[in-house]
Amino acid sequence: MPAALIDSIPATARPAEARTLLRVKDLQTTFRTGGNSSVRAVDGVSFDLDPGETLAIVGESGSGKSVTSLSLMGLLPKDTGSVTGGSMRLNGFEMRGFSEEEMRAVRGKQIGMIFQEPMTSLNPVKTVGWQIMEMVMHHEKLSRRAAYRRAIEMLDLVGIPEPARRVDNYPHQMSGGMRQRAMIAMALSCEPRILIADEPTTALDVTIQAQMLELMKDLQDRMGMAIIFITHDLGVVAEVADRVVVMYAGQVVESGEVEQIFEAPRMPYTAGLMNSIPRIGASRRKERLRAIPGTVPPLSDLPHGCRFNPRCAHATELCRATPPALEEVGPGHAVRCARWRDITLDIMDTE
């Protein structure tokens, strides 16, 4: 079914599974690396997203978080990357079969995206207002004058001062915080059902980060949209998320509600991420941050068995020999670890 018709079917008329806003099942994304060689950057990723929910996808650089989002948006580099397996169902309709024209109808209208670095995502030779106008003229079929008014309204909505003047600014005439707000305004201009935020606060100072998180939460409450929040920072996740997906080397290694992940993580990698969060009381107790040793392995040279085993203090010969499956450890809580039943993870005190 064409993406433009997704909204035309009432939720009650869709199959039961379609009432989940987005269902990703066993997603596989592959990149060609030259000759007949290829690497799988996303390997069997699954998650559901419900209306109004915030799902955080967490992991270090190279874990596959951003590639997952680009797969959903149909923005993989066409000469090297492609979705090679699995399913991406939006309101019950499979997106893998959509043409490029249909994906353009999805992008912006159904799924909006805030990219990590606005200075490289915004067009430097077009005004911020014109870039918002292009979105709403394409998707909403507004006149140029109406689109200009919408652009001013959106800049005002995201808290940019003097929006009627700033609408004619070029990106380089705005501060980093303003550019990020302009990116949010552009992503929300067509009132998408899903907003993907890829490391939206990474380049901002702490004060502006807090403002951005508060702004996104406020806009979510007003517009009722779902958010996929991609980050490496579990401290941010605690503030914004309902559920968490932890990724490592292209795979989901733990998933669950935010309380489950923070109160009782079962995967050593998740515990390592949590122990690397700076805590106010740590200096008073003279505790140092616990860095995870090593780095994420290159996709072209993954270790045998569990992909985390070379960095894991709990690894055994079983971990080095046999790839673990993603296993249910409780209601809504899954982990990819052969030893989750018999290890105790040491989590730093959060008080």
Q: What is the DSSP string of 309-322?
A: GGG-TT--HHHHHS
Q: How far does Cα 273 stand from its chain's mean position?
A: 17
* Tokens (6 digits) for 287: 């505790």
Per-residue model confidence as pLDDT tens digits over 232-257: 888 889 888 999 999 999 999 999 99
Residues 330-339: what's their mean pLDDT?
96
Per-residue model confidence as pLDDT tens digits over 285-334: 555 667 899 999 999 999 999 999 999 999 999 999 999 999 999 999 99
Q: Which residue has the higher pLDDT, 205 or 299?
A: 299
Same domain assignment for residues 158 and 219 = no
Q: Where residue 1 falls among pLDDT bands split at 50, 70, 90? A: very low
Same domain assignment for residues 65 and 147 = no
Q: Where residue 3 falls among pLDDT bands split at 50, 70, 90? A: very low
**Domain of 102, in residue numbers:** 1-6+17-110+193-350
Same domain assignment for residues 74 and 124 = no
Same domain assignment for residues 143 and 279 = no
Residues 137-164: what's their mean pLDDT?
93
Same domain assignment for residues 65 and 175 = no
Most confident of 19-23, 133-137, 304-308: 304-308
Q: What is the pTM of this model?
A: 0.88
Q: Does residue 98 sit within a domain? A: yes
Q: How far does the chain reach from its first CA to its final CA, in angstroms?
A: 51
Same domain assignment for residues 142 and 78 = no
Q: Where residue 10 falls among pLDDT bands split at 50, 70, 90? A: very low
Question: Which is it for the CA torsion 330, 332, 338, 343, positive or negative?
Answer: negative
The amino acid at 286: K
Residue 279: its pLDDT value, please? 64
Here the CATH number for the domain that contains residue 284 is: 3.40.50.300
User: What b/e string do you get for 192-231 counting C-beta neighbours within 10 Å, with b at 16 or more?
Assistant: bbbbbbbbbbebbeeebbebbbebbeebbeeeebbbbbbb
Mean confidence (pLDDT) of the chain = 88
**Separation between Cα atoms, residue 298 and residue 284, nearest integer Å:** 38
**Number of helices (H) and strands (E), helices first, in the chain?**
12, 12
Same domain assignment for residues 163 and 258 = no
Q: Does residue 291 sit within a domain? A: yes
Residues 95-102: what's their mean pLDDT?
90
**Separation between Cα atoms, residue 53 and residue 172, nearest integer Å:** 34
Q: Which residue has the higher pLDDT, 120 or 162?
A: 162
**DSSP letters along 277-335, please?**
S--GGGTTTTPPP-PPSS-PPPGGGPPSSSTTGGG-TT--HHHHHSPPPPEEEETTEEE
Of 191, 213, 231, which marks where a domain is finished?
A: 191
Query: For the chain, what is the domain count?
Result: 2
